[in-house]
Structure 1
Amino acid sequence: MQSRPVEAATIGDDGRNDSADDAAIVFRNASIRRGDRIIWQHGDFSIPAGSVTAIVGTNGTGKTTMMNAELGLLPLASGSLKVLGKPAGALNHLIGYVPQSYTSEIDSNLTAEQSVLLGLTGTRFGIHLITKTQRAKAYEAMTFTGIADKAKYRLSQLSGGLRQRVAIAQALVSDPKLLMLDEPLANLDLASQRATVHVLSKLNRELGMTIQVVAHDLNMLLPILTGAVYLLDGHPHYAAMNEVLDADLLTHLYGTTVQVVTTPQGDMFVTPSPDEPDSIEQDTHDPAEVAHFHHHHASRSTSLGAEEEQA
């Protein structure tokens, strides 16, 4: 794994980067449509290089859709999207991607080493001559993720947590600048979640890698997150974590009463309120209230109106 210098980006009060030159991902008035339905619109923000960012929101808000757009797999309905300084999809060879379905779709008869090597050969079919350089790269990626001693184990012999680290090693083997993971902690036990987060922290801290994670539960990731993209009422927004960790905002985001708790040691975690009445209105996304927590930019603030209501 090769280390890279990290240039800090300055975040303005509105959550946008003051300089897109320091950004890994830049959305400008972007929207995604499927058929007649707008999935989300008015995406206008930048994600800093060297950051660890979560994409959060309830089911169906378009979290995975956003990653697919960043990979150039889904075209924008409007606006623009640049990833690593080029139009989405142009530099996918510099992106490591771990899909949510990796552990269920990969051939369980492959060894960990064979699986990681797919990140270099690009296919699991046919006979491929593996060079010493490729094998060394695979071993380096497995060592970094802590699975080198499992190289000859078949995936069927590994726990879910170890298979997830195989998936990350496969994404890392080509030395990406950006690592994208879709629900990497789903269906893992607590110890495996912690081990996975440790690998992500190490990648960001030691290699300066930009990391983006789709996540439902923020708690395990909180120690390493620098910011979040939150999808609320059909509009994506970026903010630093100290702004996202707001009980009122998270209540609107998740549609249920949420509290942010700080321990005496200074650690924070997000939890549902224990005393929520049974009669509470679950859909708390009232437009007037939500406007207090996020806003669009002045250049189009007067043109949303009915367009937002339709979203």
Structure 2
Amino acid sequence: MITNHSQDDCIVFRDAAVARGGRIIWQHGDFAIPAGSVTAIVGTNGAGKTTMMKAELGLIPLASGSLTVLGKPAGEANNRIGYVPQSYASDIDSNLTAEQSVLLGLTGTRFGIHPVTRAQKAKVHEAMAFTGIADKAKMRLSELSGGLRQRVAIAQALVSDPKLLMLDEPLANLDLASQRAVVHVLARLNQELGMTIQVVAHDLNMLLPILTGAVYLLDGHPHYAAMNQVLDSDLLTHLYGTRVQVITTPQGDMFVTPSADEPEGVEQDTHAPNEVAQFHHHHADASGATNTMGGAR
């Protein structure tokens, strides 16, 4: 049964399916992702998480159904989408400076051929300031840590003032401090600018404070649900194929973790999903920092 969707929805799947090499990757996708949300795409390796994001960008055709993004068929609104690929660090010339790399978000392949305008330079500096890397402008990518390169990639995606920011495994291979810094940038983009954010993620833990919902790929079918529905031990166990618990500390911090091998009769210190939901946003960044990306909405 096709679901009714709101005009406020950012991404809308209607009985969508994707096939590659003659094999159905996922099908019967019928859901909507709200504008202004922060959504994770989760599932086991090979479930089609990156494939879903590529379908949303119009890079992979649907086998059936329809998919609209920002009110247009997939691929037709890409000029309003900022995209950060998982392979950013390896796909870009490491001899470029951070500033030059961010500028590519405006000039693309024209870099080095056409003069850079004052307005373009201002947008680059604005994006770098927002992501906290303004002081790294003249440093080459080869001199930056993985976390700083990831923030360069986000700044590059921001210079065109996107309505939707899409990131493929942005926290992969980063240390804890770098993960926190990237998540903080995403939180500010969503809270201060109202930007819709979608993240392909393997591990939810660091993202939990800012997520409003998740698309989970289960048994070949994509589903969307709010986080208090996704944070269910039985669902996550089915999703990841191993026993998973949702645990909260007395301070309300949440963790999704595999169950420990405990002797029978030992009760785990866990919380029911409705209890977890009450703690969900307890430490989301609510600082009133100045909006330095006034052009991005």
CA distance in 2, matches of 1:18, 1:264: 40
CA distance in 1, matches of 2:92, 2:72: 30
Indicate the residue corresponding to 2:182 in structure 1: 196
Match of 1:163 among 149, 155, 180: 149
| TM-score normalised according to structure 2 size | 0.86
Native 8 Å contact 2:104 2:111 kept in 1: no
CA distance in 2, matches of 1:231, 1:41: 10
Indicate the residue corresponding to 1:133 in structure 2: 119
- Specify whether residues 143 and 126 from structure 1 end up closer, same or farther in structure 2 by C-alpha distance, changes over 3 A only: closer
Indicate the residue corresponding to 1:228 in structure 2: 214
| TM-score normalised according to structure 1 size | 0.82
Give the residue type in structure 1 aligned to 2:184. Answer: H
Match of 1:46 among 27, 32, 42: 32
Shift of 1:267: 1.9
Alignment of 1:136-285 (within 5 A): 136-275=122-261
Shift of 1:128: 2.7
Shift of 1:123: 1.7
Match of 1:89 among 75, 96, 111: 75
2:48 equivalent to 1:62: yes
- Specify whether residues 211 and 17 from structure 1 end up closer, same or farther in structure 2 by C-alpha distance, changes over 3 A only: farther
Give the residue type in structure 1 aligned to 2:161. Answer: D
Deviations 1:15-59 (A, max 9, x none): x98642110000000000113200000000000000000000000
- With 263-272 and 244-253 compared, the bigger mean Cα shift is at 263-272
Deviations 1:231-251 (A, max 9, x none): 001000000000000000000
Shift of 1:262: 1.2
Shift of 1:127: 2.5
Native 8 Å contact 2:27 2:222 kept in 1: yes
Deviations 1:70-125 (A, max 9, x none): 00001100000000011000110000000000011110000000000000001275
The sequence identity of aligned pairs, in percent, is 83
CA distance in 2, matches of 1:69, 1:191: 32
Indicate the residue corresponding to 2:90 in structure 1: 104
2:23 equivalent to 1:32: no
CA distance in 1, matches of 2:62, 2:36: 25
Runs of at least 5 residues in structure 2 that lack an aligned partner in the other structure:
264-297
Native 8 Å contact 1:20 1:26 kept in 2: no
- Specify whether residues 32 and 276 from structure 1 end up closer, same or farther in structure 2 by C-alpha distance, changes over 3 A only: farther
Indicate the residue corresponding to 2:269 in structure 1: none
Q: How many residues align?
A: 263
Considering only aligned residues, what root-mean-square deviation do their CA atoms show, in Å? 1.5
Give the residue type in structure 2 aligned to 1:76. Answer: L
CA distance in 1, matches of 2:121, 2:191: 25
- Specify whether residues 51 and 183 from structure 1 end up closer, same or farther in structure 2 by C-alpha distance, changes over 3 A only: same
Give the residue type in structure 1 aligned to 2:100. Answer: Q
Q: State the secondary structure of the residue aligned to 1:179.
A: strand
Runs of at least 5 residues in structure 1 that lack an aligned partner in the other structure:
1-13, 278-311
Indicate the residue corresponding to 2:279 in structure 1: none
Native 8 Å contact 2:3 2:30 kept in 1: no
Native 8 Å contact 2:44 2:239 kept in 1: yes
- Specify whether residues 213 and 17 from structure 1 end up closer, same or farther in structure 2 by C-alpha distance, changes over 3 A only: farther
Give the residue type in structure 2 aligned to 1:105. Answer: D
Give the residue type in structure 2 aligned to 1:50. Answer: G
Indicate the residue corresponding to 1:293 in structure 2: none
Hey, which bits of structure 1, 4+ residues long, moved more than 3 A?
16-19
Alignment of 1:13-28 (within 5 A): 19-28=5-14
Q: State the secondary structure of the residue aligned to 2:7.
A: helix
